[in-house]
Amino acid sequence: MIGVQLTHKIGFIGYRNHAKKLLDIVEREEDVDVYKIYHPTKNIDDSRITNNLKDLYECDGIIIASPNNTHFEYLKEVIENSNCLIYCEKPPVTSSEGIEYLEKLTSEQKKRVFFGFNLRYSEFNDFLKVYSKSEKLGKIIQINIITSQGLAFKEKYLGDWRADGENNLHNIIENSSIHWIDLMVFNFGKTTNASYLPRLISNNGTSFDTNSVNLQFENGMVASIFTSYATPLIENIVIVGTNGFAIIKNGKIEISYPRDTFDENGLFTNPKNKEEIDFSFQTNGKNSLKKSMNYFLDHLKNSQMFELTDFDTAIYSNKLVLEIEEKL
């Protein structure tokens, strides 16, 4: 597919906001070169800018980091007109038509595509992998996630594509919640039940800026996910197990166990054992984004395809989000 070479050409679709974060990561990496940056209409003062998507087809890898509702058209064009590896930001697509197209791809085509669910490469995912099998927590039965901040009250939000309800009504679940939904699916498998309660709290823009999602999994575990662009910064996760619990906030993970801790009257009291692990949401996000991109670039440099199961899990997460949006 991709021949052995010293420098690998990378093409970008998107250049601002999140795309800029990805661009900065790639530009610091050895053995890769940002060859072309595509925008459909703008003429930007950068020699790499092109308004012709075909200019990217000769690249070894293409990164799609454009507005959500454009992912499908770019994925389709790049898959059908190039042989490169593709990094596509989440969500993969925003329509059932897009899901049907991706599900019908050949296995070889699917293995060319990597979706940017970077929390799979996070310290929090590492924690779940270890403690979901530990005696300290026991069987995990509930995870409550609150991650929110005040983006919707910033002046620049009104001009941002995220605030456009006509094209991105469900922007909060498709940009923020979907990361946590995918991470839960990645760790706990398929769901049996799901609910979705979106709201527009700030009255800025016309898309939802706040939502709650509840997921029940086949193993009985339930995840409650609250995300918002209309609150102060809140970063708080509670993981409840049958023998202990973990609370993540204020730069720490505090683990408490065992369940059978009693006072002098034989009544249940707070677990006697406590452990602390340093944990920063900001570092978790930044590091996982870099690890996710490096995972893509390592496959590019080594001419390796991606795991089919990773593609299938991403599509399952995407499909789940679209289904609960349609139920609304």
Question: For 255-272, how does the pLDDT look when each residue is reduced to its tens digit (9 = 90+)?
Answer: 999 999 999 999 999 999
* Three-class SS state of 98: helix
pLDDT (tens digit per residue) in 214-267:
999 999 999 999 999 999 999 999 999 999 999 999 999 999 999 999 999 999
| Per-residue model confidence (pLDDT) at position 108 | 97
- For the segment 59-81, the average pLDDT, to the nearest whole number, is 96
Give the C-alpha separation, 223 to 124, whole Å: 15
85-89 and 234-241: which strand pairing? Answer: unpaired
- Cα pseudo-dihedral 186, 191, 193, 196, rounded to 10: 30
| Per-residue model confidence (pLDDT) at position 5 | 52
Which residues does residue 64 pair with via DSSP β-bridges, in sequence order? 13, 88
Q: What is the value of pTM for the model shown?
A: 0.93
pLDDT (tens digit per residue) in 143-176:
999 999 999 999 999 998 889 999 999 999 999 9
- For the segment 204-223, the average pLDDT, to the nearest whole number, is 97
DSSP conformation letters of 276-318: EEE--HHHHHHHHHHHHHHHHHHHHHTT-PPPHHHHHHHHHHH
- The CATH superfamily holding the domain 120-279 is Dihydrodipicolinate Reductase; domain 2 (3.30.360.10)
Q: For residue 88, give the nearest of 18, 157, 146 by alpha carbon.
A: 18
Q: For residue 41, give the nearest of 26, 32, 52 by alpha carbon.
A: 52
CATH fold group of domain 8-116+290-297: Rossmann fold (3.40.50)
Q: What value does the mean pLDDT of the chain take?
A: 95
* Three-class SS state of 99: helix
Could you tell me the residue ranges of all domains in the chain?
8-116+290-297, 120-279
